[in-house]
Amino acid sequence: MKKIGYLRVSTVEQRPDRQVDALSKHCDELHVEKASAATLKRPIFELVLKSLEPGSELIILDLDRAFRSVVDAVQTIENLRQRDVSLKIVNLNIDTNTPSGMLIYTVIASIAQFERELASQRTKEGLAAARVRGKRLGRPEKLSKKDICFITKKIETRTMTLTALGDLYGMAPSSISRAIKRHQAHP
């Protein structure tokens, strides 16, 4: 059984020494990636996943070193299980190759998913409460009412085009059109 270690640091300035020291004694080979977990493409991780053969083991130090979210972890682990590849998380002492390891992993993943959903629910409730209090959410308007009146007058008198007005305000003409429509709907 081949034991492949994957470790990741978020920036090129960070050193993987802690992970290398912890994983070296468990792995036949190590693959280091220097990329944020939020990065959509992690070529080393993708290469490691593709290279895993049936009966091999993917070894990581911590759950967050390999996975962006619980959903990502669960999907990846299920894909690995279908390919007869197990996962070992050293710092949590979890080995998905054993029934108890899979149970513990599933419980931890479920709790983490529950916490993520609670945080999402709290955020939505907070946003709803802010709206009820009349708070405007999102990015501040780029154009003031005075700007929109000026733009509307220039368009009506045909003294400036939407493109020229866009250049003047540093906006796309379509953004100016939407701002005018919003102003007309909610003066």
DSSP state letters, 83-125 = TT-EEEEGGGTEETTSHHHHHHHHHHHHHHHHHHHHHHHHHHH
Q: Which of 46-50, 106-110, 173-177 has the lowest mean pLDDT?
A: 106-110
Q: Verify that 151 and 67 share a domain, yes or no.
A: no
| pLDDT score of 112 | 72
Please give the structure tokens belonging to residue 103.
Answer: 């149970």
Residue where one domain finishes, among candidates 60, 95, 111: 111
- pTM higher than 0.75, yes or no? no
| Percentage of the residues of the chain whose pLDDT score is greater than 70 | 99
Q: Which domain holds residue 173?
A: 145-185
Give CA–CA dist 175/70, Å, rounded.
37
State the residue for tokens 């931890």. Answer: 108
Whole-Å CA distances, 171 to 102, 157, 163, 175, 178: 53, 21, 9, 6, 11
Any domain includes 134:
no
Find out whether 137 and 131 touch, Cβ atoms under 8 Å.
yes
Any domain includes 42:
yes
| pLDDT score of 105 | 79
Q: Verify that 23 and 91 share a domain, yes or no.
A: yes
- Give the closest residue to 45 by CA, choosing from 74, 14, 23, 67: 67
Q: Verify that 95 and 11 share a domain, yes or no.
A: yes
- Each residue's pLDDT tens digit, 10-69: 887 888 999 999 999 999 999 999 988 677 788 999 999 999 999 999 999 988 888 877
- Give catalytic residue positions: 10
Residue where one domain finishes, among candidates 87, 111, 135: 111
Give CA–CA dist 7/34, Å, rounded.
9
Give the containing element (helix H, strand E) for 7.
strand 3-9
Q: Verify that 34 and 100 share a domain, yes or no.
A: yes
Query: DSSP alpha helices (H): ranges in the chain?
Result: 17-24, 43-51, 70-82, 99-132, 145-156, 162-169, 173-185
Q: Verify that 14 and 81 share a domain, yes or no.
A: yes
Q: Verify that 41 and 95 share a domain, yes or no.
A: yes
- Each residue's pLDDT tens digit, 82-103: 999 999 999 988 888 888 888 8
- Tell me the angle at which helices 43-51 and 70-82 cross, rounded to the nearest 10 degrees: 30
